[in-house]
Amino acid sequence: MLKRILKWFFGVILVLFLVAAALVANAIWFRPWFLNVFYEKVFIEFVFDEPELLSAIGLVEQFGITGHNAKLNDESPAHQQKQFDRLRRDIAQLHQYPLDKQTASQKLSTAVLDWFLGVQAEAERFQFHDYPVNQLFGVQNQFPSFMANTHRLLAPQDCDYYIKRLDALPAKFDGLLEGLKIRESKGIIPPRFVVDEVLKEMNDFVATPADKNILATSFKTRAAKIAKLTDPQRSDYQGRVESAINGSVYPAYHKLIDYFTALRPKTTTEDGVWKLPDGDAYYAYKLKESTTTTLNPQEVHSLGISEVARIEAEMRALLDANGFAG
């Protein structure tokens, strides 16, 4: 009797395991059977493809998933194209879920996701219409900021991940350079003032001795708070960080500096998207992306002017009623 019960019990466990495995396999490699799982899959695939974003939101560390903290985002054109290919696949799969079988909440989620994915996929035509190295939010100035302010340093393993990320920078910048050269071939070159600003910024960055660089000083400050590290271990890590700055980080920046130095003679003082290939179409696309409307640029401009006039008239009436002049 006991043998029969055990046999039945393990049989049930096996069936449950096989069902769970089938659900997981379906969710990972195929269109999920359940729409809510599909929503989650779209989000999970996106964030796991962007390790820096995954580190920033800190969702999975609590489950012991930390390997992404040793990696940097892939800036290569091939990775960019992979994202557009996935967007088209996601749109096609989303449209395979019948609307008449969805709840009101799902219909709303589907409409929002469909719009978002569609607008992002539409950007494929303009995927090189930007300046990824710029004086405000460029890859070159976001990297030190990310490492100093976002990369976690709570345990010894985080220190190892930190060094791996420093050593991964040359590959990240190589992918970035590949994209910059494609932009250059298409006539998409930053204005001269942008090139001048980023060259000054990067030259100042690499002129700083490694031990005074923010990548080293921020690491030292935060590593001092890791209780599980001994002083000799901290010293060893600090030396490895400074070696990585000199051996990986600075050479990567020098390649970027050399590229922009050679690019500068080709720059002009013209700015604005109107100077880009199909600049008017790109402007209209960015307007659609930012406003979620189908209004054309002139309609948005006219609406802005009329709204300013309306608001000023209401303000003037209130000011006049209270005796304010001017």
Residues 208 and 112 grouped into a single domain: no
160 plus 216 within the same structural domain = yes
pLDDT-derived band at 326, boundaries 50, 70, 90:
confident
Residues 199-243 have pLDDT tens digits of 999 999 999 999 999 999 999 999 999 999 999 999 999 999 999
pLDDT at 29 over 80: no
Mean pLDDT, residues 68-78: 98
Q: Is residue 267 part of a domain?
A: yes
252-278: pLDDT as tens digits: 999 999 999 999 999 999 988 999 999
Q: Which amino acid is at 320?
A: D
Per-residue confidence at 325, pLDDT binned at 50, 70, 90?
confident
Q: Has residue 288 been placed in a domain? A: no
Kindly report the number of other CB atoms within 10 A of residue 40's CB atom. 12
33 pLDDT band, cuts 50/70/90, is confident
Please say whether the beta carbons of 150 and 56 come within 8 A. yes
Quote the pLDDT of residue 31.
67
* pLDDT computed for residue 3 by the predictor: 53
Q: Which of 123, 86, 53 is nearest to 290 (CA)?
A: 123
Give the pLDDT of residue 141.
97
Instruction: Report which of residues 162 and 59 the model is more confident about.
Output: 162
Q: In this structure, are residues 214 and 149 in contact, taking their beta carbons and an 8 Å threshold?
A: no
Q: How confident is the model over 170-184, as pLDDT tens digits?
A: 999 999 999 999 999
Q: How confident is the model at residue 5 (pLDDT cuts 50, 70, 90)?
A: low
Q: What is the 3-state secondary structure (H, E, C) of the chain?
A: CHHHHHHHHHHHHHHHHHHHHHHHHHHHHCCCCCHHHHHHHHHHHHHHCCHHHHHHHCCCHHHCCCHHHHCCCCCCHHHHHHHHHHHHHHHHHHCCCCHHHCCHHHHHHHHHHHHHHHHHHHHHHHCCCCCCCCCCCCHHHHHHHHHHHCCCCCCHHHHHHHHHHHHHHHHHHHHHHHHHHHHHHCCCCCCHHHHHHHHHHHHHHHHCCHHHCHHHHHHHHHHCCCCCCCHHHHHHHHHHHHHHHHHHHHHHHHHHHHHHHHHHHHCCCCCCHHHCCCHHHHHHHHHHHHHCCCCCHHHHHHHHHHHHHHHHHHHHHHHHHCCCCC
Residue pair 222/156 in contact (Cβ under 8 Å)? The answer is no
User: Residues 56-80: what's their mean pLDDT?
Assistant: 95
Percent of the chain with pLDDT over 90: 85
Number of structural domains (the chain) is 3
| Token pair in block for residue 32 | 């999920």
Residue 16 has pLDDT above 70, yes or no: no
What mean pLDDT is predicted for residues 116-136?
Answer: 96
Residues 16 and 65 in one domain: no
**Are 219 and 180 members of one domain?**
yes
From 206, 241, 203, select the one nearest 221 (Cα to Cα). Answer: 241
pLDDT of residue 294: 87
Please check whether residues 199 and 268 belong to one and the same domain: yes
Is residue 37 located within the same domain as residue 140? no
**Domain final position from 260, 278, 296:** 278
Residue 176 lies in a domain: yes
**Neighbour-count burial for 164-193, b at 16+ CB within 10 Å, e otherwise:** ebbbbbbbbbebbbebbeebeeeebbbbbe
Same-domain check for residues 102 and 143: no
- Do 15 and 142 share a domain, yes or no? no
168/117 same-domain check? no
Q: Kindly tell me the sign of the dihedral angle through the C-alpha atoms of 179, 127, 183, 290.
A: negative
Q: Among 18-27, 99-108, 167-176, 305-314, name the one with the lowest average pLDDT.
A: 18-27
Task: Tell me the torsion sign for CA atoms 135, 140, 144, 149.
Answer: positive
Tell me the residue range of the domain where 249 lies: 130-278
Look at residue 319 and tell me if it is in a domain: no
Spatial CA neighbour of 102 closest among 114, 90, 87: 114
Q: What pLDDT does residue 268 have?
A: 95
- Cβ atoms of 76 and 175 within 8 Å: the answer is yes
All residues at 6 or more sequence positions from 148 whose CB lies less than 8 Å from its CB, including other chains: 214, 215, 218
191 lies in the same domain as 63:
no
> Does a structural domain hold residue 313?
no
User: Does residue 307 sit within a domain?
Assistant: no
Largest pairwise CA distance in the chain: 98
Position 115 in a domain: yes
CA atoms of 174 and 77, how far apart (whole Å): 11
Asked, for residue 294, whether it belongs to a domain, the answer is: no
Same domain, 204 and 268: yes
Give pLDDT, residue 14: 40
Residues 22 and 63 both lie in one domain = no
Whether the Cβ atoms of residue 70 and residue 165 lie closer than 8 Å to each other: yes
Instruction: Indicate if the pLDDT at residue 23 is higher than 50.
Output: no
pLDDT bucket at 1, cuts 50 / 70 / 90 = low
